[in-house]
Amino acid sequence: LPKTRENGGLAERISVPLDSSYLDLRSVGGRVAGASGLAFPPAGSSDDFILHPFDLVQIRRQPDFELPGTVVISGEVSVPGNYALLSKDDRVTDLIERAGHILPSGYPKGARLYRSLDELGRIDLDLPKALQDPSGLENLVLQPADSLHIPVYTPTVQVLGAVNSPVTVLYREGQDFEHYIAAAGGYRSDADEGRSSVRYANGLAQTRSKFLFWSSYPEPDAGSIITVPSEDPEATFDTLGFFTTLLGVVSSLATTIVVITR
């Protein structure tokens, strides 16, 4: 130890102001890289501090500093790639704006958002609504490692499964579910029509909706896939359950009619 410190004594702490000459040259605009960077005085505005042997230099970490998370956008946008989240409130439309814009070949209805955080997988996203109303609930807040994909517009509908001729059909706006089934040659004899489903380009799937004796099928959109499963040969018809349900419906209708007539 130096002679001046041989007799012991407490260390002295000195706070020294820094200027931007101490910063990494990769910093931009005189700010530390990161969402919570602070502005520094111009280079050379602080006096040099002379260090002595055994001095200990400690640079404190900003308490609220966090490395910015990144997200990915791919597909039909001007500049696909990785982007840093600028704030904790960055939303889907903010990412699209930074990536330029959606190309004419892109299909916003088919956009898919994937979230690897907590292994959630695909997140339901209605991008047209988010673009129409950026302040609405559909414009989801992004999280680190999210991935947004904008697919190419595909003007077809695939029909797969228990149909006579699985086929890819040209999409026609306004045509219903049965139109595409007919284009595939109709149902096979072993088709389980009640469990038919439509999977849309954005990953959302819908099945037949049923109320009493009426049922309706979801309307396919461009890029959809219709799947008709086969019946389970081991499944048996629940006769007792069917007639029990039917009796309940008839009884309910009869009660309603009696109340109305009174």
Element (H or E) spanning 255, and its range? helix 239-261
Report the alpha-carbon distance of residue 178 to residue 95 in Å, rounded: 39
Which domains occur in the chain, in start order?
A: 1-66 (no CATH), 70-150 (3.10.560.10), 156-228 (3.10.560.10)
Burial 203-237 (b: 16+ CB within 10 A, else e): bbeeeeeeeeeeeebbebbbbbbbbbbeeeeeeee
Query: pTM score, two decimals?
Result: 0.65
pLDDT in tens, 188-243: 999 999 899 999 999 999 998 877 667 788 999 999 999 999 998 776 555 666 56
Please determine, for residue 148, whether its predicted confidence score (pLDDT) is greater than 50.
Answer: yes
pLDDT in tens, 56-105: 887 777 777 677 789 999 999 999 999 999 888 999 999 999 999 999 99
Report the alpha-carbon distance of residue 216 to residue 254 in Å, rounded: 26
Alpha helices (H) in 77-137, listed in sequence order: 92-98, 127-132
pLDDT at 93: 97
3-class secondary-structure state, position 140: coil
Count the neighbouring beta carbons within 10 Å of the beta carbon of residue 184. Answer: 23
